[in-house]
Structure 1
Amino acid sequence: MNVEITGRHVVITPAIRSYVLKRLRKFAKIFGDDISFHVIIDVQKERQTAEILLKTKLLDLTGKGRTDDMYNSILVAIEKIERQALKHKGKIIEGKRQRAKSKSVAVKSGIAQVSPVTLAARKNNGILEEEAQRKPMEVEEAVLELNHSDYPFIVFRNADSGAVNVLYRRKDGSIGLIRP
């Protein structure tokens, strides 16, 4: 954890430095030790401002606090960064849960033979590509799969003909089938 404290129009006392270091230790639990902080403390007349910049490999966060008391300004800035950090961490955890859930649903239903190599999502020029190894299925099986999924269509290999077919939901609620 690297902390740089800059004072503008104020001398950084050991008390302020230890207060800042004590409050910033909790971020090491969230992000690990590979983080750096730049704390800017500014005093102008009756305004006391603390701005904290947190940098990690994945993201940069900024929090600014402005009150009459320097310690309260530091606390407000740290609380803002903490909210941002927890929000970011929640998004990461939720994304992992969604990916795990989609893999387990595919495996339980027997639709896809999923392995880390075959199920991948890539973004190329704004286009999201998903690959999944699918077993051949009958049209009736594909209809059941479409009814159980949230997707508007399903692409499958027809077990009878061996051709790739597309089953889709129409706007009127019925189901359409595209055969080559």
Structure 2
Amino acid sequence: MDVEYTGRQTTITKKLKVQTEEGITAITKIVGTSGSVHVILSKDKYRMIAEVTVHTKHHKLVARCEATEMEVALHDALAKIEQQAIRHKKKFGTIKRHPKSDVKGGTTEVAAPAARKTATLKVATKTSVGRKAVPMLVHSFPSHSPLSEPHVVRSTDGVALRPMSLEEAVKEAAFRDRDVFVFRNHGGQAMVLYRKRDGKMELIEVP
């Protein structure tokens, strides 16, 4: 990179130039060698100010630092430029370019996960001027998955109000046409009759 120096109220020594070249060498490993660098070193009373500007093909990196010594200010400015270059490289490297889909006719479908339900909408598009519209399937996803709320109804038809034997409970459940019937035996033990899918009644003793 071409380096240009500007000194304001200060002298640019060989030591400062060597320090700048070392910092620029580290920066060029990140942004490349094409571009230019402008280093402005100035003195304002007791403040030493170093301003470094790096022009590359895609970016302009600028850093300005102050310190009581010029070497420290220049070091900090070059370090900031290097950090900026790293951030720009990471940001530029994360951009993924997707090839344009070549639609020559027919139906184009957007891939969707099988676990989600999609709504299909046909959209008429034109491939070029003068040609007929081509139907296209566009899948739209709901922002929130619909969840059915439980519907609970209170009922006392499945509960016996008096103690009864097992035989009486089976007959009562069949009479009330209940798949689940709760009762207490003559000893006060709570029990549940449950009709399984095969039609058999299962007795559950509640502890």
In structure 2, the residue matched to 1:2 is 2
- Residues 92-148 of structure 1 show CA distances to partners (whole Å, capped at 9, x for unaligned) of 22114xx4xxx6xxxxxxxxxxxxxxx23xxxxxxxxxx45598578xxx6xx3236
Distance in 1, Cα, partners of 2:75 & 2:5 = 15
In structure 2, the residue matched to 1:48 is 48
Equivalent residues, number: 133
- Give 1:1-180 correspondences, 5 Å limit: 1-96=1-96, 99=97, 119-120=99-100, 131-133=101-103, 136=107, 145-147=111-113, 163-173=135-145
Distance in 1, Cα, partners of 2:11 & 2:50 = 13
Q: Does the C-alpha gap of structure 1 residues 54 and 132 become closer, same or farther in structure 2, counting only changes over 3 Å?
A: same
**Gap runs ≥5 in structure 1:** 104-118, 121-130, 175-180
**Gap runs ≥5 in structure 2:** 124-133, 147-207
Q: TM-score, normalised by structure 2?
A: 0.55
For residue 163 of structure 1, report the CA deviation from its aligned partner.
3.3
**Which stretches of structure 1, 4 residues or longer, exceed 4 Å deviation after superposition?**
132-138, 152-157
Preserved contact between residue 35 and residue 55 of structure 1 (Cα < 8 Å)? yes
Distance in 2, Cα, partners of 1:56 & 1:93 = 16
Letter in 2 for 1:5: Y
RMSD over aligned CA atoms reads 3.1
What is the SS of the residue equivalent to 1:170? coil
Q: Which one has a larger percent helix, Structure 1 or Structure 2?
A: 1
Q: TM-score, normalised by structure 1?
A: 0.62
Letter in 1 for 2:33: D
Letter in 2 for 1:166: V
Give the share of equivalent positions with the same residue, in percent: 27
Q: Does the C-alpha gap of structure 1 residues 75 and 153 become closer, same or farther in structure 2, counting only changes over 3 Å?
A: farther
